[in-house]
Amino acid sequence: MTKEYKIAVLPGDGIGQEIVPQAVAVLESIGKKFGHRFEFQNAIVGGTAIDQVGKPLPEETLKLALEADAVLLGAVGGPKWEGLDYAIRPERALLGLREKLGLYANLRPAKLYPMLADASTLKREVIDGIDLLVVRELTGEIYFGKPRGVEKYEGGNEGSTPRSTQRRRSSGSPRSPSRSPGSGGRR
């Protein structure tokens, strides 16, 4: 029995446009071997979308992603779009997709292949045999909480998110020696 899957293909920017077609080719090979049928539908996202329609996550792209069985997403962003306002930067597409698709975790495998151990800045005995998976939460208040923003104070700025018990200064001034990170005071 052939299984059919609709995949939203979002190459994005830069290297994403190079590697996503290769990933599609791999999926096509897998489909042939294991009897799956993939329907690929392309859409724009990130800087490419900003250039074409003025926003990083067009409604058509979001609709396609919501209706798909899976989303194949390449890289977004690059030097070309670094000077844009935060609200329309290419990376905002990632946050929009995460929020609307209910994606709550990023899986980051970390495995050391023995032949690469000497390329690490860490001592071999520290990293030898590493094979772990880091699960990073993606939808909490640091990403989507409100209110948020930057508050001005004498000597610099502070970034804030809801329920922040500590705030990080962005003024570049050194931390006061009387306020250690675990003291509950501001950093």
Q: Domain coordinates of the chain in residue numbers?
A: 1-103, 104-138, 145-187
pLDDT at position 106: 83
pLDDT at position 177: 38
Specify the long-range contacts of residues 53-56, CB closer than 8 Å, at least 24 apart: 54/88, 55/88, 56/88, 56/89, 56/90, 56/91, 56/92, 56/93, 56/96
- Architecture category of domain 1-103 in CATH: 3-Layer(aba) Sandwich (3.40)
Q: Is 53 exposed, middle or buried (0-12, 13-18, 19+ CB in 10 A)?
A: middle
Residue type, 6: K
Q: Is the pTM of this model over 0.95?
A: no
Residue 155 φ/ψ, nearest 5 degrees:
100, 0
126-140 pLDDT, tens digit per residue, is: 988 899 999 988 766
pLDDT at position 100: 93
Distances in Å between the Cα of 65 and the Cα atoms of 60, 75, 131, 164 are 9, 16, 32, 32
Under-70 pLDDT residues of the chain:
139-153, 155-187
What the block records as the tokens of 170 is 């962005």
